[in-house]
Amino acid sequence: MKKVYRMEDLDCANCARKMEDAIRKIQGVESVSINFLTQKMTLEAQDDRFDEIVQQAQKACRRVEPDCRILL
C-alpha cells in the first residue's frame, strides 16, 4: 500500500532526511520519501501491517523532531 501524508512543523531538510533513514529501518517499509518543501511524506509498506508501520513512523519522526507530526 502506498499513501501520502501531510507533515506538520517539519523544520529542515536535514531533519527530513534523518526521519527517512529512521523510517526505512522499520520492518515492512518498502519505501519512504519526505519532501521538506511540500511538507509531505510518501510511505509504501506492507498492506497487512500498514497501520502499525504508520504508528512506528510517527514515533521515529518525534524522536528526530519532537514538534513534528504526521497528519493522518
DSSP 9-72: S---HHHHHHHHHHHHTSTTEEEEEEETTTTEEEEEE-GGGHHHHHHHHHHHHHHH-TT-EEE-
Confidence of residue 16 (pLDDT cuts 50, 70, 90): very high
| CATH 3.30.70.100 applies to domain 2-71 | yes
Q: How do residues 28-38 score in pLDDT, each as one tens digit?
A: 999 999 999 99
Rounded to whole angstroms, how far apart are CA atoms 67 and 31?
23
Residues 53 and 28: beta-carbon distance below 8 Å? yes
Rounded to an integer, the average pLDDT of 35-64 is 97
Domain boundaries, the chain: 2-71
Rounded to an integer, the average pLDDT of 3-27 is 96
Confidence of residue 64 (pLDDT cuts 50, 70, 90): very high
Give backbone dihedrals phi and psi of 39, rounded to 5 degrees, phi first: 60, 45
